[in-house]
Structure 1
Amino acid sequence: MFDNNSNKSRTSNRRKEDIIDVESFITDRISQLGSKAASQRGLCDSSKIYGGILSVVSFFALNSIPGGQVVVASSLAGYLLAVYGDYATTKRLRLFPSRRTVSGLSQDKEGNEDDRFIALNEDYEEDISYLGQKEELEAKFINRYFDELCEKLYELPVSDRSNTYQVIIDSVFSRKKQSKYYQYFEARSKQDARFMEAEIAAKEKLLPRKIRQVDIDYLKLEEDQNLFSRQLPGDQDLSQGSELFPVSEPAMTLSQDEPVLTGYQIFYSLIDSTCCYVAGGQQSGKTLLLAETTKRKAEEGILIFYVNWFSTKLDRDGHWEHVPASHKIETDISMLSPEEFMEVINQTLNLLNTFKLLVFGEHHKDCILVWDELEVSADKNSGDVSKATQPVLQLLSDLIGRLTGTGVKNGGSVQVLSPGYAAGSMFAFVNSKAKKMTPIVCSINKGKFVKTRNNKTISFNKSLLRQMANNFVSAVEVDVPIELASTKTERIFQFQEEWVALGDASDLRPCNYVATDDITHQPHNVLAQKKRSQIEELITKLEEDGYETLWSFAEAMEIPSSDAKRRFIEIVSTYLESERPDLASRFARNKEKEFSSFDGRYSYSDNIEKELNTRLLTNFRCCLCQKRSEDVEIHRTSYLGADDQPGKNMFPLCEVCHDEAHEAGNWNSTLDSIWSSHQTEGFTKRINLGLNFLTQDID
């Protein structure tokens, strides 16, 4: 085993800084090597050209210019010096300038991979051939194995990535194909290519979805888990792992005769004693996993608490009926009035304090708290909402911090459900505590495509796994082992870097537990139910009275101001999108597509007439490029509903200019409200100048 301290001393002088964003680092490195190669090629070829031309010219004019022999000798010496310098750096003897310099053409021809160690396109290879040998190989290596290298470095702690990168390059440079690092990445690239072929074939129904075992020429990946270690290019014994790439123990040690546990069985053994951060995309199975396991724990006498501030119709499917109403908050705070919102905040504080008292108080009771949609709940960029939720989230963070170290001792746990881990958008105090939780991942299996309840297709999401791997103290494995990916299992589960089939409730003992609630308790979701009842009454009226637009419905409700109408329309649109897609289709802007809450911005009676008048302002010409098109589009610099006005916030733009108007630097996009996004001031001036020119409305 190579000594770690010795390795540190060898590599410490090469480490410049920690690599946080791996893809950006490698992309920047490619750019640096490319720029350096182009510069050196230009300098070397220029010296050859000028030296060669001057030598030839002075030779023929030897007798007609003073000191002709000296000029010839000097020119020839300059030429030879350029050739020698090129050879000394690259070990290539090149008497003439490169094709790229002479022709200035880039033909992007494919190189012959059999003739070279690592083959790239011909132009790029010619450029980097002017680098030193090690830098040339580095440029080739990181270009060819970009994805595989990024994935491997993302799996490591930030502090180890820079040294590991240097170790890999040193090994590949010194040992070429004999380097086990090269063998590893070559095998990974072949494996990924096979996976891609299988995924495409499965999607197009050309082949069965079972993925075949990959034949590896250089290395069997599944047999070489211990390749990466803190070693330098000597490639000594790699079998024992190391600090840098430790050989992780399996989640559960099972004999060959024991069946492999499913995710349901593993999680059931954890839920009442371990605080877990359960991440997974839509329909990955995480919510049902929590619901079924907590139901059985409730039957055992453990108290269950449940909070979801952003509950939708799909969430309210009866899975949490085993939680007493006095221990449950299930609402959508975006649908509440300010007074009702603050009441829910107070109720949540009371619920958390009740949980705290039961777990840590004198009259102890085993409890499990489930917090759904934490990533959205802990968003620090929600303005006044963030300020109001901060005390609740601070208390939640304190509970997580206290229980991550003493959950077993105190008989309590907090379980968090979230679609991902956006560390940058969450409160810092939430982020610091959440990272100490045990990461659990529910996912669609690699190579599988699953239909959701709302008829959307979902598949394996590697970016979610990278988020988790980059943020948690406990390690998270990004790749799915091929032996699991090749099975028919659609949903999978990860704990302690081990992937297994997720399973389902049939893997647990039968349970028909239904919650009972003390009638003396006030249900925590009563306000949400009251608010929901009011909205349902409005929707019933909207449907029965046959309103053609949402704005006319707002006017019929005698809502006084335009701002109030817009707020009313947003509430109704949001409800229609999530709860009544059948009725919502009546108000869709494009009848061939599903209704979106954003369609509420255009749901007023004279919208079509105003859009036509906007096009007629410029005779169907784009305000920016001045080109005429029958398909010119309508762009709004702000959203005012029925207060939209041609030439004020409505302008004709062609498709290309319309896309430019919505680019990040030109458009202020926000999801706070369907009305809040708007054009930047500078770009609005550009549009108005174009309109003035076309309409000759120039002061």
Structure 2
Amino acid sequence: MSKKLVIQFPNRALLENPEPESTTVRKWVKERLNLLNQGNCDREERVNVSEGMGIAAIVLGLGTFSAAPTLGAAALAMGGISTLLTLIADASHTRKVKFFSWSFSEVKGSIRDLQNNALPEATSQTYTKEQLMSGNYNRQISLRSNPSPTADKTRTSESKGKFLTPLEACELRFVESSVREVILFLEKRVPPQQRWDTYLEMCQSVYDDQLDSPYFDMLDEVARAFPVIQTIDVPGAVPQAKHLPMAQQYLNSYAPPQQTQGYSYNQPQDQANSQPYQQPEEKEDLEVVIQTHSYQRPGLQVKSGYDDLLENIDKSGCIVGQQRSGKTRAIAKASEQKAAEGYRVYMVNLAAKKVDQDGRWNHCYWKVEVDIGRLKSKPAEDIIDEARNLIEDYLDYEGRKILIVDEWMSVASKANKYRKILTPFIEDCNQVVNIAISTGIGSGICIYFICPYFTAGGLQDNATIVSQLRLIMTFINKGETVTDPSGNPLTYESGIAKGIQRNFPTQYVELPDGVPSDNKRVYFSNGVWRGMGDERNYKKVNIKTVSDNSSPNVKKNDLVNLATGTPEEVLQEAISRAHSTDHRKLWDFVEEELGFTDHEAIKYVIDVLAKWMEKNDPTLGKKFIVGSSFKAIDARYSYSGHKNNVDETIALNDGMCCVCQVKLAKHAHHLSYDGKNDKPKKNMIPVCEECHDKVCHSELNWKEDFTSIWKSKSNPSFAHRIIFEMIL
């Protein structure tokens, strides 16, 4: 029983079908539920057969012990060991100790019911929250106002998913209890290309946060927006007089599993059983006192959300807002204005969909705008490496600057398939946030995170620090309706608001009724709600980006004619394209945009171009390197993957300097320079700072050659000894 059952997902293409009238989302969800149920049944059968064989051996041993003690003892031992191993294997998989499908909690609950003569009735009895959460009920539950065959279905809290992993079991219970709303949410509220990530994140959020998950409130909004139609062919599609909240449906259908070691279920503390269950929105500790003075009143203030954001842009913040509420456009326009005033704007979006790449960030000094979820592992690592270089450049720059990180909830999610290789990037962002929190505006650090919603439970542990930043909220105004690109109506999302309230309790203020807004959108910051407004009042800007710089007359040089033009024409073309390119690595620029393929030819072009930029336009050169100033020799490291090479090199020799063998390695010394062909231990070695300066670059061991940025190298004898004798 040591082999673990892996529940495969259905074809992802069904879920991401963009056709608006397609039923493939429903098919995908149904197929996923079928796979989970079938996987549970298959594993249950295997466990029961294995335990049955063990019990049979024990019975056989008992029966034959008196006649044949040796044989009986052997049968008893084999049966006991087999049964015990099966129990252990099943417990390690499900985090529950069971015997023939009976868990200890079920046995204790049944005994307690018998002792108290608490035989259940198949009626519309009201149960306390503690009874529902404990899992000790096995009766027909009907809390709906007009019962139906579906509502009266007998359900046992632990009967579903007993033999699945805790996360899979939680997914099965959650989706089955609200399958109609889950399907509608994915179809109507989520763009096709984001459905896969949203589904995984939704299940992870319910597993982590349980009833505090904001997705319950989001599904409530969907249920109210799309009333049940009798002809919808999904479980639970039964007309109801009143919508039952998703959290209540989830409790009624399946009590969340008990907390187990290694998993983060947050079960409530035991309370008096006499207290009936109350819906979350009716609990006193969630009651919100609306501050009637917390919005802009007509005639008293004229500042719009755009104006407030522009005025306070040097104060870092976390911008949270529902879909189509204008959050991204607001910060994009405000940062565009600041770019015109001389700010450097850096932007990272590692979950950027095609619809997001509409040119709104063209004013940025440096941007990384890619959906790494669509990439394979190696290209994704290169993109993350570039994003880390961007942050390093941002920290090194001493002028006025803004860093914007979009789609934070997706990038830093526990459900992100690249969460492990994203950890260094998240830590870099944490470093920036810590500086912003500890030193404020005086440090020159200004960072904004953009989130479509916020729930700390769905983020990696080191990604929740953004909740300490200034809160900015954007919503569709109460009573207003806008449409998404597919024509679906969107209204105020109270579920997202409740999630923000839980994670920003000291900053959150409920959106009052009647906030005036010309474009149906509202904006919150520093305790005040106001109309979003728009950028029409912004002064006209003529942003001078790098591509606008006029190049001085190019001095003639000895660049060989590797392309079709003269050497001067080739250099002119390279400089012109360098101004406008989106590439941030010279090697990638020369190889992919200029079209050079020969390794030595690429090195030669980079050498000539880097020397020209150092002498004539160091600002252009700064575009391709990380640091405060540009030198031609820095171009030797301007290729994708260099940072990974450095990290791998420092990790060689057990992290120790390979020269002194005493101090920790901090640097990667190049024995020679070969651009994209650099490799750890081949021409890169781990050294401490002192040995790097005094030994590796000493006159005895290092040969300097400035005729080309690539020609300086270590003496052959020194390099040979280091590679073959000093590195473990």
Q: TM-score, normalised by structure 2?
A: 0.36
Q: TM-score, normalised by structure 1?
A: 0.38
